[in-house]
């Protein structure tokens, strides 16, 4: 009976509805940010005339690989998504798409992304991309119900796009690649924890345990968010220090880091959802502004 009702639900979708559901399934805006970060790493690492065809293929490949990873994540969490108000309307919990359709979609877009990278970049770029898919879909996803170690593990594939872009441009992993990886890696802790603070009630319904210190929204967690945000200040200066960029981006990155840091102080005072929201939105602004400033400083 359940299988029949699911089939009826998915078969009634129009072509436009189905396309919309697939785009929603891959979280296009999030996947676009992954593509942007990959392109950022490529442009920052590239020397000489830029091959825009390779740049486009890399970004599109990153978009597809991210979409595949996110789709696999939603397949694994379908039953948990039904429990949370923020995720109940996704394509799988609402049966707008079946799990089988989602698997086929993930395989197709993931393979397409990897083939694009294999044709236009190098094998190391492809290998790191595969590691990213496996870490995100099959390690980070189940760990979300285990404890905050999931945030550490999830931050690794989340920080790989700029490194992947750098490797696509240079053919290897260097200290410069590790620095841009490190900035995005550390950024994800205040980003993840602010989201977990805001969505705490929903996450508890699904058994997700992402906040540190036993999942309490208290001073210890707020201080932890502040400390990781503080780390971004010296990290943001390293590209200028080793000569990837210059003084202009160093100033912008420091200013962004200070503004981002100040948002954590109100959370340490009142532990409120409003303060956590400010950190969350601040994190959305911080990363692209920093990356764009690095690129502009290199030109």
CATH number at residue 8: 1.10.357.140
Structural domain that includes position 262: 174-299
Co-location of 86 and 123 in the same domain: yes
Q: Determine contact, residues 122/165, Cβ cutoff 8 Å.
A: no
Co-location of 147 and 190 in the same domain: no
Co-location of 163 and 182 in the same domain: no
Report pTM.
Answer: 0.91
Please state, in angstroms and rounded to a whole number, the distance separating the CA atoms of residues 77 and 174. 36
Co-location of 200 and 64 in the same domain: no
Co-location of 145 and 205 in the same domain: no
| 28-58 pLDDT tens trace | 889 999 999 999 999 999 988 888 999 999 9
Last residue of a domain, one of 123, 145, 171: 171
Co-location of 138 and 257 in the same domain: no
| 104-135 pLDDT tens trace | 999 999 999 999 999 999 999 999 999 999 99
Question: What do you get for the CA distance between the two ends of the chain, in Å?
Answer: 61
10 Å CB burial of residue 138 (0-12, 13-18, 19+) is middle
Co-location of 29 and 8 in the same domain: yes
pLDDT of residue 299: 73
Q: Determine contact, residues 197/158, Cβ cutoff 8 Å.
A: no
Kindly provide the b/e burial profile for residues 240-255, where b requires at least 16 CB atoms within 10 angstroms of the residue's own CB.
beeebbeeebbebbbe
Please state, in angstroms and rounded to a whole number, the distance separating the CA atoms of residues 205 and 182. 32
Co-location of 122 and 231 in the same domain: no
Last residue of a domain, one of 171, 194, 212: 171
Please state, in angstroms and rounded to a whole number, the distance separating the CA atoms of residues 108 and 200. 34
The closest of 24, 6, 44 to 293, measured between CA atoms, is: 44
Q: Is the pLDDT of residue 9 over 70?
A: no
Last residue of a domain, one of 146, 171, 196: 171
> How many structural domains is the chain composed of?
2
Co-location of 131 and 279 in the same domain: no
Please state, in angstroms and rounded to a whole number, the distance separating the CA atoms of residues 35 and 38. 5
Co-location of 79 and 146 in the same domain: yes
């Amino acid at each position: 009976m359940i299988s029949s009702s699911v089939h009826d639900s998915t078969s009634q979708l129009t072509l436009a509805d189905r396309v919309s559901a697939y785009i929603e399934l891959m979280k296009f805006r999030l996947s676009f940010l992954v593509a942007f970060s990959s392109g950022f790493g490529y442009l920052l690492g590239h020397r000489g005339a830029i091959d825009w065809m390779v740049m486009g293929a890399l970004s599109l490949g990153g978009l597809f690989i991210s979409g595949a990873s996110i789709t696999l994540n939603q397949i694994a969490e379908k039953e948990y998504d039904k429990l949370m108000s923020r995720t109940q309307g996704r394509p799988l919990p609402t049966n707008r798409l079946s799990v089988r359709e989602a698997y086929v979609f993930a395989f197709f877009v993931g393979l397409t992304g990897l083939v694009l990278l294999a044709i236009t970049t190098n094998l190391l770029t492809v290998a790191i991309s595969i590691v990213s898919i496996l870490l995100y879909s099959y390690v980070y996803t189940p760990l979300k119900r285990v404890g905050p170690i999931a945030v550490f593990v999830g931050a690794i594939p989340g920080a790989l796009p700029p490194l992947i872009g750098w490797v696509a441009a240079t053919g290897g992993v260097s200290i410069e690649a590790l620095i841009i990886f490190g900035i995005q890696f550390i950024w994800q802790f205040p980003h993840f924890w602010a989201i977990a603070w805001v969505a705490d009630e929903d996450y508890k319904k699904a058994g997700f345990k992402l906040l540190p210190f036993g999942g309490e929204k208290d001073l210890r967690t707020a201080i932890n968010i502040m400390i990781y945000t503080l780390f971004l200040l010296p990290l943001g200066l390293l590209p200028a220090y080793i000569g990837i960029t210059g003084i202009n981006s160093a100033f912008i990155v420091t200013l962004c880091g200070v503004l981002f840091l100040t948002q954590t102080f109100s959370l340490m005072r009142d532990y409120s959802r409003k303060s956590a929201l400010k950190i969350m939105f601040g994190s959305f602004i911080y990363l692209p502004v920093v990356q764009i400033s690095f690129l502009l400083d290199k030109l």
